[in-house]
Copies of this chain bind each other. A is one copy, B any other.
Amino acid sequence: MIVLKESDLYKKVAQLLVVRASGYVLDSRRQFPQWELKNSELKQLLEEGIGGVILFGGTTFELQHRTKTIRSWAHQPIFLCADVEEGLGQRFEGGTWLVPPLAVGQIYRNDPKKATAIAENYGACIGVQARECGLNWVLAPVCDINNNSNNPVINLRAWGEDPLTVADLVSAFNKGLSSQGVLTCAKHFPGHGDTSVDSHLALPIIEHDLNRLKELELVPFEAVIASGVETLMTAHILFPNIDSKAPATLSAQILTKLLREEIGFDGLLVTDALVMDAIRTSYGDEEAVVMAFEAGADLLMMPVNPKKAIHAICNALLSGRIPMTRLEESLHRRQNALDKLTTFDSTVCGQAHKFDCQFIERKEDKDFAEDLLLRSIKIRSKVNNGNIERDINLVRIDGLFPCQFLTNHSPAFLLAEEAGYKTTLCHQMGVSPWQDDAENPLALDRFGDGSFLLQLFIRGNPFRGSLFKKEPWLATIRQLQRLNRLSGVILYGSPFFWNDINQVLEKSIPCAYSPGQMNDAQKHVLLSLLQTQQDKQMTTLQFQEFTD
């Protein structure tokens, strides 16, 4: 069957797709050109009726113009969404970048009231900046309970490790986010917290049955649905005790029977990215799209080939495999969400977007981010200054190109260098620092004979969340301790790995932990850890006095 691009059916189905583009204006700046459409391609798809765009990368300044341009290419209202779970600054430079949600979950342990207030503020901070940038849909909160410390992809993105913490915090977050006039999205249904496989690379399997899900994983989703969340996102996870064949994203048992019928959610349901290998490899690109729609998803996120996806769904509808009523239902839910945005626009915003605003981060956003950052940092004693050109500032990151939290003037480099350390950067693409000796894994002859300040940037990142486990950092800490060559250890990232480090770290070694990896986290950690009373040069990040 051939479905013409001009046909009503084609245009209706096109509305169900969300495609990926860069927040950068220029094609040449796209950070992931294999996934991000060129401008010419994006414009054409929008003219054909594509219903939404998810944006990654760029500055908030560019994003404001970008969303305006994209809207002008579409002939209808569309969704403009982004994965800004940790603030606009997580994806778009110039926005506020907050420490990950799990840090709020840790505050909740001692002070649930304070944590709940922070979560609401966290949502509001994202909402106001998203709206200012022209986005109308924020793909948060993560409602997964991170009860598996080996989770390579949720980890710090979760709001907690137990159902009540997560339920309380995501409800508060959702309230704050919603209050700013953008749609929100609870993910990843029915729960992604108990996996130890990265769904970007392979299909995770969770053996829990429905009773267990109801006791644990579903609790935050039910809370946030009760508090009025407009949209949900599916998980690419197989629950063989609920549906032995299809992972949640493709499972009618989970999406229709459990979510629609049992739980009664009638909002908009979007799939997680359909380019992820957990889905692609087992089912084929187009069949996966049709299966997701057939199973009950309304919107289809990032299909591998948007045009083929539209054709495949059209064919499934024309052949009778999927009833036309399903299409009408999904379009109806889509329209409801868009209608809610119209209400927002007239009530919350009250006026047209101010697209000329260059600086979207308000003073209260900065203060909030800093307060939360300071609450989340842990520091034990102080590091002595380094021996210039001898002691080593060993900085470990996942990868370069892009590395969002490091520039030539990042505190992780500059402050350590000002204190006398010489930086060596360790990353997957560099010359290996390792030798084949389990007890002495760091090849010391590659570094010279000074002491080491270790700065490890390790958190669960999609595609490379487990990479660091191949790197023997714990054995390295033991090795350097034995040799009396460890000045200090800083971990930016996973609290679970921080626990592991504390198992091997001698109590005399200065150390610090921050869940955030951003420049401000580096600055605060290093200023505290390196500062001595005599040493005033440490107290400022200013390089050039601007005097009158």
Contacts and interface: CB of A to CB of B under 8 A. Distances in A.
Interface of A: 24-26, 28-29, 31-35, 37-38, 41, 59-62, 65, 69, 93-94, 305, 307-308, 358-359, 399-402, 406-410, 423-427, 429-433, 443, 446-447, 543-548
24 contacts: A25-B358, A26-B59, A26-B60, A26-B359, A29-B93, A29-B94, A32-B408, A34-B543, A37-B546, A38-B546, A61-B62, A305-B545, A305-B546, A308-B547, A399-B408, A401-B406, A401-B410, A402-B407, A425-B429, A431-B431, A431-B432, A431-B433, A432-B446, A446-B446
A427 B431 CA distance: 9
Contact of A62 (B62, B408, B446): B62
A31 B431 contact: no
A276 to B, nearest CB: 15
Contacts of A358: 25-26, 69
Contacts of A432: 431, 446-447
Contact of A28 (B24, B26, B93, B423): B93
Nearest to A358: B25
Of all A-B residue pairs in the complex, the 7 with the closest CB atoms, nearest first, are: A34-B543, A401-B408, A431-B431, A430-B430, A25-B61, A26-B94, A425-B429
A546 B41 contact: yes
A303 B425 CA distance: 33
A39 to B, nearest CB: 8
A431 B446 contact: yes
Given A401-B407, A407-B401, A307 B547 contact: yes
A interface, over-half SS: loop
A61 B29 CA distance: 11
Contacts of A402: 407-408
A430 B400 CA distance: 12
A88 to B, nearest CB: 12
Given A25-B61, A41-B546, A432-B446, A33 B409 contact: yes
Contacts of A543: 33-34
A408 B29 CA distance: 11
A413 to B, nearest CB: 8
Nearest to A410: B401
Contacts of A307: 547-548
Contacts of A423: 429
Given A424-B429, A547-B307, A407 B34 contact: no
B29 A59 contact: yes
A409 B25 contact: no
Contact of A430 (B62, B359, B425): B425
A412 B301 CA distance: 32
A400 B423 CA distance: 13
A400 B358 CA distance: 28
B431 A26 contact: no
A337 to B, nearest CB: 28
A433 to B, nearest CB: 5
Contact of A400 (B60, B61, B400, B431): B400
Contacts of A548: 307
Nearest to A33: B409
Contacts of A401: 406-408, 410
Contacts of A547: 305, 307-308
**Looking at A26, A29, A41, which has the most chain B CB atoms within 10 Å of its CB?**
A26
Contacts of A359: 26
A334 to B, nearest CB: 25
Nearest to A443: B446
B429 A400 contact: no
Nearest to A304: B544
Given A406-B401, A543-B34, A94 B28 contact: yes
Nearest to A308: B547
Contact of A59 (B25, B308, B424, B446): B25
Contacts of A31: 407-408
A427 B543 CA distance: 25
Contacts of A429: 423-425
A394 B94 CA distance: 35
A390 to B, nearest CB: 15
A301 B430 CA distance: 38
B409 A34 contact: yes
A88 B443 CA distance: 44
A34 B544 contact: yes
